Every structure is written in C-alpha cells, then in structure tokens.
C-alpha cells in the first residue's frame, strides 16, 4: 500500500514542564518507528491561546507532527497513547495526502498552462486592454 | 477591479441605505447581502458613473468581489493558518457565506473544510464566548 500522510496535532496542559512534553513526543516516536512508519517532522508551536476552553483551560501547548505511514493501525495506536497521556488535553489526526496530491496536480496544471500561454496571449493581449477600457467607460 | 457604480432598484422595503453603501469585503455586510445569492446582475443596464444618489432610487456603489484565493492562486487552504481563516468567519464564529466574501464555489468548499478542522483543534471558535 502506498504511503499516507497524516497531520497529528495535540495540545498539552500549559503548565506541563517541557521535559514531560518531550517524553510524550518520544513515546509517540517510539510507537511510530515500532510499527514501521516514520515521523517526517515534529514542530512545537508552543503555548497558544485556544479559541475555546478545553478542560477548563484557556491556553495550551501545541505540538504538530507530520506522520507518514502505509498502515492505518499506527494512527489507532497513536491516538490510544495520546488518550492515555495525562498531559494531553486534546488531539487530532487528519489524513492530508489526498489533498496535497490534488494541490500538486493543480500546480502542475497551472505551470503547464503558464508555459503555453506566452505565445497565445500576445495577439489576444491587444484587444484585451481595449475592452477593459470600454468596460470602465461604461 | 474596476469600481463600477451599478444602479439597482431594490424591491426590499426599508432598511436599505439611500447613500452609497460601503462595499468593503465582508465587513460591509449589507452591501454584500443585497446582491442576493448569485444570479446575473443587471450590470451595464444604466451607463454613467454613479454620481450622487437620486431621490427615490437606491443606488449602490458596488465593487466587484473577486475570490481572494483565486487571486493568490491557492491550491490548498491550510487549516493550520488560522489567521487567514479568521477573515472568513463572523465575529461570533459563523462561517461567512460566499455572497459576502466573494469566494468562488471551489475555494469556499475547501475553506469550509479548513475552518471546521481548525475549530476541532481549538484554533478557531465554534461560537465565540461572551
């Protein structure tokens, strides 16, 4: 099966020491590698104000992870671990590879069109400003 | 982005401003609302650059709204960039309709998904607290 890409975001209590957060990250990394997947990127966004209160807290420590896996079981295990971790108050996993693939496709499509355009628009460019002007005059 | 003064007779009783309504994106709520859901506008039906609003007729200065994502050539609306998304929600957290923001159908579809994702991870509010 082809590889899938997931965005994993979790929020820790703001008063957790940095070491505990690192511990959570380490356990997640361990699980991921154990299951034959990998973490492409880990990004600590730091303390942020949440848009609404979660567990009566207004702030949270956001951690973002980019997980690549060809096995859905990994996500299941990760979410279980996050649920168990005391410091974590909220988490979310989203599969993003299909949307990114779509983005790639659109980008390629646009580039191809842009490459083709120059000779096409040169004759068409002449009447275009004229029509614009008339439109503005109206 | 030519400012066009589109005179339009409105059937709506009362409430419509007699002076040119502000047409600043989504914040100028009323002018956007009055355009109605889609539909061909009677553009160019009456030539002439607006001028002062005549009595008895409700004239609007309407700016043609363009999808901001199309202008920037966005292929993927990232739910993680909450600052971008905040300009497409109301103060209380509702998603603004297309007719207010001028977003095209395709981008509005992506935008909705992105906003909902951001809400789930507390980047955006479901409903703003008082």
Q: Which pLDDT belongs to residue A91?
A: 94
How many interface pairs between A and B have CB atoms less than 8 angstroms apart?
A: 44
Q: What is the pLDDT along chain B (130 residues), one digit of tens a residue?
A: 444 444 444 444 444 444 444 444 444 434 444 444 444 454 444 444 555 555 666 677 777 788 889 998 888 999 999 889 999 999 889 999 999 899 999 999 999 999 999 999 999 999 887 6
Task: Kindly write down the DSSP assignment for every residue of B45-90, as one continuous string.
Answer: SS-S---SPPTTS-EEEEEPP--HHHHTT-S---TT-HHHHHTTB-
Q: Is the dihedral of CA B89, B92, B97, B100 positive or negative?
A: negative
Closest CA to B2 of B64, B60, B61, B44: B64
Among A10, A45, A51, A137, the strongest candidate for a mutation testing the B interface, having the largest count of B CBs within 10 A, is A51
User: Which residues of A fall within a CB distance of 8 Å from B92?
Assistant: none
Cβ atoms of B20 and B60 closer than 8 Å:
yes
Cβ atoms of B57 and B90 closer than 8 Å:
no
The torsion angles phi and psi of A14, rounded to 5 degrees, stand at -70, -20
Nearest to B122 among A11, A110, A138 (CB): A11
Residue in chain A lying closest to B47 (CA): A138
Q: What is the pLDDT along chain A (138 residues), one digit of tens a residue?
A: 688 999 999 999 999 999 999 999 999 999 999 888 889 999 999 999 999 999 999 999 999 999 999 888 899 999 999 999 989 999 999 999 988 899 999 999 988 988 887 655 545 444 444 444 444 444
Cβ atoms of A20 and A53 closer than 8 Å:
no
Check if B120 contacts A (Cβ < 8 Å).
yes
User: Which residues of A fall within a CB distance of 8 Å from B124?
Assistant: 51
Q: Which pLDDT belongs to residue A136?
A: 46
Residue in chain B lying closest to A110 (CA): B73
The torsion angles phi and psi of B67, rounded to 5 degrees, stand at -60, 120
Neighbours of B7 (CB within 10 A): 19
Taking the CA atoms of residue B79, residue B81, residue B85 and residue B87 in that order, the dihedral angle to the nearest 10 degrees is: 180
In eight-state DSSP terms, residue A85 is -
User: Quick one: chain B helix, strand, coil %, rounded to 5?
Assistant: 25, 10, 65
Largest pairwise CA distance in chain A: 69
Q: How far is A51 from chain B (nearest CA, A)?
A: 5
Which residue is it, tokens 């309709």?
B97
Q: Which pLDDT belongs to residue B114?
A: 94
Closest CA to B84 of B101, B64, B65, B106: B101
Check if A100 contacts B (Cβ < 8 Å).
yes
ipTM: 0.76
Q: Model's pTM, two decimal places? A: 0.67
Sheet order of strands, A57-69 included: A38-54, A57-69, A4-12, A88-95
Q: How far is B58 from chain A (nearest CA, A)?
A: 19
Closest CA to B122 of A91, A94, A17: A91
| Interchain proximity B122–A60, CB inside 8 Å | yes
User: CA A105 to CA A98: how far, in whole Å?
Assistant: 11
Closest CA to B20 of B68, B52, B55: B52
Among B122, B125, B127, the strongest candidate for a mutation testing the A interface, having the largest count of A CBs within 10 A, is B122
């Amino acid at each position: 099966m082809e590889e899938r890409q997931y965005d994993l975001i979790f929020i820790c209590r703001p008063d957790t020491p940095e070491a505990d957060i690192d511990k959570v990250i380490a356990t997640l990394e361990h699980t991921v590698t154990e299951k034959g997947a990998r973490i492409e990127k880990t990004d600590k966004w730091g303390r942020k104000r949440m848009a609404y209160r979660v567990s009566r807290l207004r702030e949270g420590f956001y951690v973002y992870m980019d997980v690549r896996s060809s096995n859905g079981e990994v996500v299941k295990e990760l979410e279980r671990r996050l649920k168990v971790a005391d410091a974590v108050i909220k988490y979310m996993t989203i599969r993003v590879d299909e949307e990114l693939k779509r983005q790639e496709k659109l980008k390629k499509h646009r580039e191809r069109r842009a490459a083709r355009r120059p000779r096409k628009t040169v004759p068409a460019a002449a009447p275009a400003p004229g029509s614009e002007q008339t439109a503005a005059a109206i | 982005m030519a400012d066009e003064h589109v005179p339009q007779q409105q059937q709506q009783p009362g409430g419509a401003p007699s002076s040119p309504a502000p047409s600043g994106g989504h914040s100028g709520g009323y002018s956007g609302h009055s355009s109605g859901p889609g539909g061909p506008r009677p553009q160019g039906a009456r030539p002439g650059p607006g001028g002062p609003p005549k009595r008895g007729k409700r004239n609007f200065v309407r700016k043609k709204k363009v999808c901001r994502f199309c202008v920037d050539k966005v292929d993927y609306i990232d739910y993680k960039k909450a600052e971008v998304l905040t300009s497409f929600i109301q103060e209380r957290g509702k998603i603004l309709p297309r007719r207010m923001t001028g977003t095209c159908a395709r981008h509005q579809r992506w935008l909705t998904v992105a906003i909902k994702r951001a809400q789930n991870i507390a980047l955006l509010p479901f409903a703003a607290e008082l």
